Amino acid sequence: MAESYNKQVYRRFVEEVINKGNISIIPELYHPDYVDHSAPPGAPHGGTVFEQVAAVPKMFRGAFPDVHFTIEQMVEEGDWVATRVTGRAQHLGRPFMGMNPTGRKVTWGSMGFFRMKDGKIIEHYGQPDLLGLRTQLAAKPEPGSLDENRAVVTRYVYEVNMQNFDAFDEFVDPNFVDHDPIPNQKPGIPGLKDAYRMFTTAFPDVWFTFEDLIAEGDMVIGRGVIEGTHTGNFMGMVPPTGKKLHWTGTRMFRVKNGKVTEGWINLDFLGLLQQMGVIPQT
Amino acid sequence: MTATINSEINSSNSKGGNQVSTAEERKAAIHRMYDETNKGNIEILNEMLADNFVSYGGAGFQDLHGPQAFIDLYRTFVAAFPDLKFNVQQVVVGDDMAAVRGIQTGTHLGNFLGMVPATGKHVEWTGTAIFRYNAEGKIVERWQDLDNLSLFQQLGVIPAFGSAGG
């Protein structure tokens, strides 16, 4: 039997808005008189319906860039649809509920009641298991576990994003080997700091977000996106263009005893130089 | 790799709970895929890629949908570098994903991407690919980053300055 229209509306919200971040379809799914009785912590009060609804995927996807909700159950009666979903994600992005990114893989349940009017969601009561989610994020990982290795790499990337290079000693091995150094990079932590400063000079707001992170044995590898505004000279050769630039990167690390010992990186330098206008588009 | 490797793919908490392959089986399949494509058996990709496969562009390439579009792109690389090889250095698997890092080598004997005429140069560059698998064990999504700057510098398209990053 085909799924009812109301259920399809909720499914589109989950599969398009939450799982893909496609907030542009919110007006097709939410009624202009929408009222959320259970806005999650951090969601804005007031503002337009679009702003209120869009804040939820933005917050989740900001903290959990690979967030994925699976619809387990939908029950419909009259103009109400009751739903049960399972969220799965890694905490790779921004801080969430007061916790800096942990790299932790989490799974949590959430139930919701949605009232429909004119084929759109007009009212919502929800109960996400935020305590269960927070408990998983706060749990201390076992030494040497995949969770710990993910936490180390996630912290490394976060502290680099925050340009808190003084914290490196806490999670970078003194004999760190950079397999993809910049030209003439010094060995160890001092060289690593120089390499990052080269980027922060060119892009003072540079930010790397992992969108996937895979751990096995002592290796952690992930892909992500980098954003930054080009307001400084890049590698001593490209004067600032003032442009907001966006490129991809894949990073691999070896982690031993709670510290990163080796690093590899592939960046879309070509795309970056093309956006700077140094190289013509391919 | 030993059976005692610390991997989440062999444990019971896999995402979705319907994994059909172990970490070692998936690694073996990845090595086989590269061994075969290195020998020129590009058709093996039809076996490995799901019908709804997507390869995300990034790094100067378009998104590609379906196995055939990816095979076609691969052939444009082979046309430019007939001895193209990807030498796998590291495979990391977990949950429904796998990542591969290695060094790609080739001799530039044909036009590359319709814009770089053959130089006859032997070139090599590093690359990383990440795959997501469906419940049948086929690859449904692929992402890549490669040292495209170094490649274009080696081909003489871009002047040489620093290549890698921190």
Distance CA B37, CA B45 (A): 8
For residues A43 and A85, membership in a common domain is answered with yes
Residue B165 domain-assigned (yes or no) = no
Contact call for B6 and A144, based on CB within 8 A: yes
Does A198 contact B at CB distance below 8 Å? yes
Query: Which residues are A247's β-sheet partners?
Result: A226
Question: B16 pLDDT exceeds 50?
Answer: no
Contact call for B130 and A269, based on CB within 8 A: no
Contact call for B163 and A269, based on CB within 8 A: yes
For residues A65 and A124, membership in a common domain is answered with yes
- Give the CATH number for residue A235: 3.10.450.50
Residue B10 domain-assigned (yes or no) = no
For residues A219 and B8, is the Cβ–Cβ distance under 8 A? no
For residues A127 and A171, membership in a common domain is answered with no
Q: Chain A residues with CB inside 8 Å of B63's CB?
A: none
Distance CA A68, CA A63 (A): 12
Count of CB atoms situated within 10 Å of the CB of B72: 12
Looking at per-residue pLDDT, the higher value among B18 and A176 belongs to A176
Q: Is the ipTM of this complex over 0.90?
A: no
Kindly report the nearest CA distance between residue B112 and chain A, in angstroms: 11
Structure tokens at B21: 């392959």
Range of the domain at B150: 23-154
Over its C-alpha atoms, chain B yields an Rg (Å, rounded) of 17
Residue from B149, B131, B153 nearest B140 by CA = B131
Task: Give the strands of the sheet with A259-267, arranged side by side.
Answer: A172-178, A259-267, A244-256, A219-229, A207-216
Distance CA B55, CA B68 (A): 11
Distance CA A133, CA A109 (A): 9
Q: How many CA atoms lie within 13 A of B67 on its CB side?
A: 12
For residues A164 and A86, membership in a common domain is answered with no
Q: What is the DSSP letter of A182?
A: P
CA A1 to chain centre: 37
User: SS3 for A249?
Assistant: strand
- Give the CATH number for residue B54: 3.10.450.50
Query: Phi, psi at residue B136, to the nearest 5°?
Result: -85, 0
Over its C-alpha atoms, chain A yields an Rg (Å, rounded) of 22
Confidence class of residue B115 from pLDDT cuts 50, 70 and 90? confident
Contact call for B148 and A195, based on CB within 8 A: no
* Number of cross-chain residue pairs from A and B with Cβ atoms under 8 Å apart: 142
For residues A118 and A181, membership in a common domain is answered with no
Structure tokens at B145: 């980053």
Contact call for A182 and B165, based on CB within 8 A: yes
The beta-carbon neighbor of B165 closest among A195, A218, A248 is A195
Kindly report the nearest CA distance between residue A182 and chain B, in angstroms: 5
Contact call for A268 and B97, based on CB within 8 A: no
Query: Which residues are B92's β-sheet partners?
Result: B99
Residue A80: C-alpha distances to residues A5, A35, A113, A140, A267 (Å): 12, 14, 7, 40, 48
Residue from B46, B18, B24, B29 nearest B135 by CA = B18
Of A137, A169, A194, at which residue does a domain stop? A137
Q: Please give the span between the terminal C-alpha atoms of chain B, in angstroms, as a whole number.
A: 29
Distance CA A213, CA A208 (A): 13
Contact call for A214 and B161, based on CB within 8 A: no
Residue A281 domain-assigned (yes or no) = no
Q: Chain B residues with CB inside 8 Å of A223's CB?
A: 99, 128, 130, 143, 145
The number of distinct structural domains making up chain A is: 2
At B136-157, the pLDDT tens digits run: 999 999 999 988 888 988 998 8
Question: What's the confidence (pLDDT) of residue B4?
Answer: 52
Question: A8 pLDDT exceeds 90?
Answer: yes
Does A214 contact B at CB distance below 8 Å? yes
Residue B36 domain-assigned (yes or no) = yes
Residue in B with minimal Cα distance to A264:
B166
The beta-carbon neighbor of A266 closest among B8, B93, B145 is B145
CA B29 to chain centre: 13
Range of the domain at A22: 5-137
For residues A107 and A174, membership in a common domain is answered with no
Residue A280 domain-assigned (yes or no) = no
For residues A133 and A151, membership in a common domain is answered with no
For residues A138 and A151, is the Cβ–Cβ distance under 8 A? no
Of A137, A169, A184, at which residue does a domain stop? A137
Residue B17 domain-assigned (yes or no) = no
The number of distinct structural domains making up chain B is: 1
Residue in B with minimal Cα distance to A246:
B58
Distance CA B47, CA B26 (A): 14
pTM of the model as a whole: 0.84
At A206-226, the pLDDT tens digits run: 999 999 999 999 999 999 999
Residue B76 domain-assigned (yes or no) = yes
Residues 6+ apart with CB under 8 A from B98: A214, B26, B27, B30, B91, B92, B130, B131, B133
Contact call for A212 and B97, based on CB within 8 A: yes
Mean pLDDT of chain A: 93
The beta-carbon neighbor of B165 closest among A218, A223, A265 is A265
Contact call for B162 and A192, based on CB within 8 A: no
For residues A214 and A202, is the Cβ–Cβ distance under 8 A? no
Confidence class of residue B132 from pLDDT cuts 50, 70 and 90? very high
The residue type found at A248 is T
Question: B97 pLDDT exceeds 50?
Answer: yes
Question: What's the confidence (pLDDT) of residue B114?
Answer: 82
Query: Phi, psi at residue A174, to the nearest 5°?
Result: -60, -25
At A44-91, the pLDDT tens digits run: 777 899 999 999 899 899 999 999 999 999 999 999 999 999 999 999
For residues A202 and A235, is the Cβ–Cβ distance under 8 A? yes
Of A110, A137, A164, at which residue does a domain stop? A137
The residue type found at B113 is L
Distance CA A270, CA B151 (A): 10
CA A101 to chain centre: 9
Q: Chain B residues with CB inside 8 Å of A268's CB?
A: 58-60, 145, 148
Distance CA A136, CA A140 (A): 9
Question: A42 pLDDT exceeds 80?
Answer: no
For residues A187 and A128, membership in a common domain is answered with no
For residues A117 and A165, membership in a common domain is answered with no
Mean pLDDT of chain B: 85
